[in-house]
Structure 1
Amino acid sequence: MKLSFLCHPTKDLKKSLSFYREQLGLEEAWREGEHTVALHLKGNSEVQLMIEIDEGVSAGGVFIVEDVNKFYEENRLTLNFIKEPCDIPPGRYAIFNDIDGNSLRIIDMTNETYED
């Protein structure tokens, strides 16, 4: 598992984006529709801050795994999955809680296409 994003759920994406841009000086890295925006952190960090409309789920890390379906099958009986694997634009996605109820998200890039 490689940490890729710090995810902060929000009720109002526009207000959150304004806060992170104007108050903290972060720059937008990418956007997925009107529900998710990623921001570059300052310095040389490869990790990005992702804010998304996702009420009812706590803030937490988003980790890249090789295969979400495989990770789910190997761990579904021992981890508390609150969202089973589903498709998202770059690949597959799932959420599980740690022992304290913090949300941990996993993602793979199985639907990413790369052009030479």
Structure 2
Amino acid sequence: MRLAFTYNPVPDVEEALSFYRDTLGWTEAWRHGDHTVAFTIPGTNVQFMVGPRVAGEQPGPAFLVDSVERFYAEHRDRLTFVAKPRAIPGGHWASFLDPAGHPVYLLDQVPEQLPQRISA
């Protein structure tokens, strides 16, 4: 497991893009279409991703694992999964709750496979 980014689901991606890019001055790291954008944060290798709110998802850390489906199979009896593995571009995504009820997200992509930044 390696922390890849923090995930912040938002109701308006364009508004979030304007805030994080134009107000805070963060640089786009990559984007997937018009609905998901990740930013580099100065002083860290961890990215910050915004995307549309999906079925009650809340902000939380997203960890890279070798296989989301294998992690799910090995831990489904010990963790409270709120989202079973589902396909995303280039991999899979799932989430579970920590003991305090906070979401923890999983994906099985390597950083080199994440979408590249699209120049305007």
Tell me whether the two structures share a fold, i.e. TM-score over 0.5: yes
CA distance in 2, matches of 1:101, 1:69: 22
- Describe the SS at the equivalent of 1:58: coil
Q: CA deviation at 1:33?
A: 1.7
- Describe the SS at the equivalent of 2:18: helix
Paired residue for 2:48? Answer: 49
Number of corresponding residues? 110
Amino acid at match of 2:52: I
Paired residue for 1:12? Answer: 12
- Describe the SS at the equivalent of 1:73: helix
What CA deviation, in whole Å up to 9, does each residue of 1:43-85 have, x standing for no partner?
A: 2x22100011124111110000011111000111111111100
- Describe the SS at the equivalent of 2:25: coil
Amino acid at match of 2:63: F
Paired residue for 1:82? Answer: 82
Paired residue for 2:108? Answer: 108
After superposition, the CA RMSD in angstroms is 1.3
Amino acid at match of 2:108: D
CA distance in 2, matches of 1:100, 1:23: 32
Q: What TM-score does the superposition give when structure 2 sets the normalisation length?
A: 0.86
Q: What are the ranges of 5 or more consecutive residues in structure 1 without an aligned counterpart?
A: none
What CA deviation, in whole Å up to 9, does each residue of 1:7-45 have, x standing for no partner?
A: 1110000101111112111011111122210001112x2
Amino acid at match of 2:40: H
Q: What TM-score does the superposition give when structure 1 sets the normalisation length?
A: 0.89
Amino acid at match of 1:32: H
Runs (4+) off by over 6 Å: none
CA distance in 2, matches of 1:104, 1:54: 15
Q: What are the ranges of 5 or more consecutive residues in structure 2 without an aligned counterpart?
A: 114-120
- Describe the SS at the equivalent of 1:15: helix
Paired residue for 2:116? Answer: none
